[in-house]
Chain A
Amino acid sequence: MRFIWHFLILAILTFLLGNYTSLPWWIFAPLAVLTGAIFSGSGWVKFLAAFLAIGSVWGGYAYYIFISEKGGLVLKVGQLLGIADGNPAILIFITALLGATLAGLSVWTGHSFRQIFERKRNDNILRRI
């Protein structure tokens, strides 16, 4: 359940911030650091939630642009970046992977921040016993 909430919050916020504000392109990264620190649970679950959330928002939005565009830009940029035949699928995949990786890394950073305090609390409990 926490996974789904985490996934949805990051996906929706990334979409809204990206589409309706002019905040820097990496705004989802500090966001993921924050959720990584706030949400409890396993680091791997959080990593997966962030990775998949940003990956699907970036990949999904890129795919939407690709199927709606009127000028054939995606193909041209693919060629420009040296992708064989400018294959749009590869370009969309790279786009998704880029966002996903940065999101995963960010959430992990947040998680490790949380761990600093969790560890301290555990120490205290041990001492009391």
Chain B
Amino acid sequence: MRITKFLFLAVLTSSLIFILNVRWDVGMMLPPLGKFMNPFYGFWQNAELSQIGNIQTEIKENQLLASAQVVYDDLMIPHIFAENDQDLYYLQGYVTAQHRLWQMDFQTYVAAGRLTEIMGEKVKNTNILDIDRYQRRIGLKHSAQKLWKKLQEKPKQKVILEAYAKGVNDYIQSLAYRDLPIEYKLFNYEPESWTPLKTLLILKLMAQNLSFTNADLEYTNALVFGKNYFQSFYPEYFPEEKPIVEKDGNWDFEPIPIKTLQDSSFVLDAIYTDPLNSPNPDNGSNNWAVSGAKTSSGNPMLCSDPHLGLHLPAVWYATQLQTPDHNVYGVSLPGTPFVVIGFNDSIAWGMTNALRDVVDWYKIEFKDSTQNQYQLDGEWKTAQKVKETYHFYNRSSSFTEEIRHTNWGPVVYDNNFSKHKGQTNLALRWTAHDISDEIGSLYALNRAKNRTEFTTAIQNFACPAQNFAFASTDGDIMMRVQGKFPLKWKSQGKFVMDGSRSENAWQGYIPQNHAIESINPTTEYVFSANQRPADLSYPYYVFSHRYKYYRDRRLAELLDSLTDASFKNMAIIQNDNYNLQAAENLEFLMSKLDTASLNEKEQRIFEKLSQWNFYNDSKKLAPSYFKTWIAILHKKLIWDEWNEAPVKGQAMKLPRTINSLRLLRNKPDFAFLDITATKKKREMADDLIQMAFKMTADSIAQWKKNREHNLSEKWENYKETRLRHLIPALDAFSSDVMRNGGEKSSINAMSSSHGPSWRMIVELDKKGVKAWGIYPGGQSGNPGSPFYLNLATDWEQGKYRSLWFMSSKDDKTHQILLTQKFMK
């Protein structure tokens, strides 16, 4: 009897330990509670009890060639001083991992389609396996592996990537369980060893975020409306556009002739369904450089503000890197070596995304359901099979599939993957699949001393294509649209193409010496804001379905009139909330309203709008009204035909708002303005404008009803910009609502989840480069660190921090938090 009692208790105790030691996926994901709550072991250990946190000040166990040191300033920005390149990147890996280990590791799972290993097959209603399959089918991991294989032939790149990995791994080795970032404890898994492949995966993920955007399936589906209507829905060009470079035909090269095969390019015999998510269209950026003629100091200045997802841990990690032969400062991507956007002793550079259609789809005809062979030029070719296995959390089970690779690229869509029947097989051709050398390019860019070295450095930068702004202490400014761009005949790749004919392939690439660039122009400034790269005289076909239309023109206007530029007025431009869309359209829209019919509520909205100065400032009400009005007009009324797909899952693309506003103005009787639900009435532009205005009042009232405490609809609340943790379920680690202004189409391009992820202003003074910067978040990725969100308030208010560009490791001109010594 007593033995039974003992056994019972022993089993009970061990079971309790077991229960508290594993993760439970019951509706919500429950961390292993005992492990997680133990104050000596679990999450309590992630609460930092000092400013410095867990950083060790002396590190004896390392793989350095020479002693080195890292100085952390009062913003926790590391200034790394090494004797040689290999040590430098070892340290960059070590130091970045100290603050961002979980983030960089997690992003490689995202890139490689391995999230099921952390999350399991499903989380609530989100099918994680589908997300992973999407990721693997577009071939990101495959192309990173291919690239790493190729880099074996490039000793410099190989050594750098391996040194970085060693640094990360030595840091991982130094960790006990209690030191692991909190996300590992929550999801109950452990960091993997870092590899050069993981760095390449992170670069490929960036390439995906910035270059994968395309509308080929949606456009192909829309062709059923006929070519004329298609042009009215999706015009390729608007006459007001302000391109990055304007040369009026003065291009000093002989263009490569391109054979046009218009007729064979369309494949119209199918309705395409299940379009893959395009990257967020709010990924964009501004950059500009002005010559000394426009600044008060006479020194050139450069500004750069990349707009990316406003995530926590922050997208960027600021750092200074110094060896005896170079000294560079700026922001880096956690998981990759180098400074990506920044400055050195002689030059500064910034990037914006160079939009261009570098993603094309080819219809594949398989011989039979085994999908072993596909047709090309009348022959059957064998498809390469790549087996992909997806392990679920804890290796509890797995899913395996074979992905076919053709001459074009991976067959992303086929009957195995699509949810809807009858999906045509589509292969993907994308420049991110090609071998390229961004590693070598960034290496040289960090060390470039002048315009020539800069141009040589970036010529290897292929994907994601970027508009590189440049300024130097020599007084040069320059802009170059840099990337690997396919040669295309007009409209090639705008629609799904016939993959059974090799003549539909890209005919090559635009040579680097035919690239769009502008050097020291007479306007004394260069700029870009994701708009069209060149005026129509550029002899190659440059297409994107979403070249920017407002931000660029506002920027050009401000830069045209800019004189005596200094840090101060550059900061004002970067934080400019002017809404050009409103400025150009509000008066017209309001003139169409029948004011006599407005009730009291609508009258108030009308008044606010008529008093508005078109600035999307944080406390104003009018921006919220305008945004709602436009959104209802655009999505609910004008393109009501788009709200219900004729075929289930059909890929459909809403025309752009710019186009809606133009139609209202120029073609008030356009057939699609009619609302299909009202059978008897034939609506025209004026009717829609009036209806939308009335609906705006209701929509705002509904919005208020869904919020607590009768929240005001002032712009900051309505826009609701927040810095969100990478994992939506961990929203407790996100920031509060940011009390700031800005709008997608203003220079301060702010939306709920996207915005300026780094604002940098550099003055290229020969006596010493000066710089200011700020980013949303903080250096530490640990929600328990005082440096997790410490920069958010300044960022929110449009303030900057002066960046301490140390001349040497003995520089004592600024406050130091700690010095970390790596002994040899």
Q: Which residues of A contact B (CB under 8 A)?
A: 15, 18-19, 22, 25-26, 29, 33, 58, 61-62, 65-66, 68-74, 76-77, 79-80, 86, 94-95, 98-99, 101-102, 105-106, 108-109, 112-113, 115-116, 119
Contacts and interface: CB of A to CB of B under 8 A. Distances in A.
Contacts of B176: 22
B9 A73 contact: no
A113 B2 CA distance: 8
Contacts of A108: 9
A106 B431 CA distance: 61
Contact of B9 (A18, A26, A58, A105): A105
Residue with the greatest number of chain A CB neighbours at <10 A, chosen from B5, B33, B178: B5
A125 to B, nearest CB: 16
- At the interface, is chain B mostly helix, strand, loop or mixed? helix
Nearest to A108: B9
B595 to A, nearest CB: 47
B6 A61 contact: no
Contacts of B50: 70
A25 B35 contact: yes
B47 A74 contact: yes
A61 B47 CA distance: 12
B37 interface: yes
Residue with the greatest number of chain B CB neighbours at <10 A, chosen from A62, A77, A106, A109: A77
Contacts of A101: 16
A76 B788 CA distance: 13
Nearest to A115: B2
Interface string B42-57: 1110111111000000
A5 to B, nearest CB: 22
B26 interface: no
Nearest to B7: A112
Given A22-B177, A65-B39, A71-B48, A116 B782 contact: no
Residue with the greatest number of chain A CB neighbours at <10 A, chosen from B3, B40, B42: B40
B49 A29 contact: no
A22 B51 CA distance: 24
Interface string B16-52: 1100110000000000011101111111101111110
Contacts of B34: 25-26, 98, 102
B43 A77 contact: yes
Contact of A33 (B2, B13, B38, B733): B13
B6 A113 contact: yes
Given A69-B48, A71-B784, A105-B16, A25 B6 contact: no
Given A86-B732, A105-B13, A105-B16, 10 more contacts: A18-B38, A19-B40, A22-B176, A22-B178, A26-B17, A58-B39, A77-B43, A80-B186, A109-B6, A115-B5
B465 to A, nearest CB: 39
A115 B6 contact: yes
B816 interface: no
B558 interface: no
Contacts, number: 119
Residue with the greatest number of chain A CB neighbours at <10 A, chosen from B47, B783, B785: B47
22 contacts: A18-B39, A22-B177, A25-B21, A25-B38, A26-B17, A26-B21, A33-B13, A58-B37, A62-B44, A69-B47, A69-B49, A71-B783, A71-B788, A73-B48, A73-B784, A80-B186, A95-B44, A98-B34, A99-B38, A109-B9, A113-B10, A115-B5
B46 A73 contact: yes
Contacts of A22: 176-178
A121 B2 CA distance: 13
A114 B10 CA distance: 13
B786 interface: yes
Residue with the greatest number of chain A CB neighbours at <10 A, chosen from B3, B10, B13, B42: B13
Nearest to A68: B49
B12 interface: yes
B76 to A, nearest CB: 12
A98 B48 CA distance: 23
B40 A25 contact: yes
Contacts of B224: none
B4 to A, nearest CB: 10
Given A68-B49, A102-B34, A29 B39 contact: no
B13 A102 contact: yes
B730 interface: yes
A79 B732 CA distance: 6
Contact of A71 (B17, B38, B730, B785): B785
Contacts of B38: 18, 25, 58, 99
B745 to A, nearest CB: 34
